[in-house]
Amino acid sequence: MPLLVGFTFDLKTGDDRAVPHDLWAEHDDPVTISSVEAALKAGGHNVVRIGGSKELLKKLRRLKCDIVFNIAEGVSGRNRESEVPVLLDTADIPYTGPDALALSVALDKSAAKKILKYHGVPVPGSFEITKKGEVCVPRGVDFPFIVKPRYEGSAKGIRADSVVGDVRALKRRAACIVECYRQPALVEEFIDGWEFTVGVIGNGRLSVLPVVQRHVDKRTGLSSHVLKKCGRKPGMSACRELLEIGPALEDRIRELAVKAFLGLECRDFARFDFRVSSKNKNKDIYMLEANPLPSLAKDDYFAMVAELEGITYEDMINRMFAAALERCGLK
């Protein structure tokens, strides 16, 4: 018998007056929402669109569904991704992905770093700037740095000038983050090198998907993924040569992805971003970000891996959904 699947999501808005300008960067476009919905229907399920947390709150008392497929990001605050899970837990409705606590921890980069380090996942050294004009670089970290909002994703707050090489540039960029995003600026040691992303699906039995390398811009050192979010896409001639990745390095990245998945208490599916340093021959690996609510767009990682593995986008989405169904005892 087909399941009735609620679908929670946040749509991008066409409002160009948003402050900051990338306020809606994590939200999905209508094409992605339609693609995920079609995939779930192709899996034999009935789907009812709900929307974001505010829409869910209005419909919660009369909501009748077996499970919710959740990719809602929320709008503001470090607990914004937790709004939908909290409401669904209150109503005792199962859903895909992590619970509220895991989502809040993963979104807050400072909190996530502490947990990742505890579980043996290397992360760049960092510190925070909470007020404009107040900069004190602690011992043990050194320029260049990359400056980003403490609790945002999807490259929000990162621009071509986010990598800074002196105190003056650091003050300027940190002040912009504090003022525009109304949160601390996270200042990380910038890992110059190559960038990789890898997905994990499952719960008790984890399946680690292929490691995919991203192009890195020669001038800024930022990945093409970040620059695309900034509205600038470098040509291939402007990108660093890809690193020839051997089995040992790939296995190490996959191993760290599993440690991060378990340490942050992710569920069902997630994606993790890494940097491999070019500073030494050891090719040190650092985790940049955990994405327990990864993009499911047809031009992003999971769709790309589906093509690499010779399966359809619809099959990939239902493979991810099947992990949640099994965890919730609905398979």
Q: Are residues 130 and 11 in the same domain?
A: no
Q: 150: domain CATH number?
A: 3.30.1490
Is 130 domain-assigned? yes
Q: Are residues 91 and 202 in the same domain?
A: no
Q: Other C-beta atoms within 10 Å of 72: how many?
A: 28
Distances 3 to 36, 47, 48, 84 between C-alpha atoms, Å: 15, 8, 11, 20
Contact criterion met (CB below 8 Å) for 298 and 305: no
Q: Are residues 51 and 173 in the same domain?
A: no
Is 86 domain-assigned? yes
For residue 104, the cross-strand partners are none
DSSP 215-280: PBBTTT--BHHHHHHTT----GGGBPPPP---HHHHHHHHHHHHHHHHHTT--EEEEEEEEEESSS
Is 77 domain-assigned? yes
pLDDT of residue 17: 73
Q: Are residues 184 and 196 in the same domain?
A: no
**Secondary structure of 3-20 as H, E, C letters:** CEEEEECCECCCCCCCCC
74: left (phi over 0), alpha (psi -120 to 50) or beta: left
Is 171 domain-assigned? yes
pLDDT of residue 231: 61
Q: Are residues 38 and 184 in the same domain?
A: no
Last residue of a domain, one of 189, 210, 244: 189
Q: Does residue 138 have a cis peptide bond before it, meaning omega lies within 30 degrees of 0? A: no
- How many whole angstroms separate alpha carbon 303 and alpha carbon 311? 9
Contact criterion met (CB below 8 Å) for 6 and 93: yes
Task: Give 44's DSSP letter.
Answer: T
- How many whole angstroms separate alpha carbon 179 and alpha carbon 176? 5
pLDDT of residue 81: 98
133: left (phi over 0), alpha (psi -120 to 50) or beta: left
- How many whole angstroms separate alpha carbon 248 and alpha carbon 269? 24
Q: 82: domain CATH number?
A: 3.40.50.20
In this structure, the chain runs to a length of 331
Number of structural domains (the chain) is: 3
Q: Are residues 160 and 56 in the same domain?
A: no
For residue 202, the cross-strand partners are 206, 268
| This prediction's pTM | 0.94
Distance in Å from the first CA to the final CA of the chain: 11
Q: Are residues 115 and 209 in the same domain?
A: yes
Q: Are residues 117 and 220 in the same domain?
A: yes
Q: 279: domain CATH number?
A: 3.30.470.20
Per-residue confidence of the chain (331 residues) as pLDDT tens digits?
Answer: 799 999 999 999 877 677 888 888 899 999 999 999 999 999 999 999 999 999 999 999 999 999 999 999 999 899 999 999 999 999 999 999 999 999 999 999 999 999 999 999 999 999 999 998 889 999 999 999 999 999 998 789 999 899 999 999 999 999 999 999 999 999 999 999 999 999 999 999 999 999 999 999 999 999 987 877 666 666 666 899 999 989 999 999 999 999 999 999 999 999 999 999 998 777 899 999 999 999 999 999 999 999 999 999 999 999 999 999 999 999 7
For residue 239, the cross-strand partners are 217
Q: Are residues 176 and 202 in the same domain?
A: no
Is 55 domain-assigned? yes
Residue 185 belongs to what domain range? 126-189
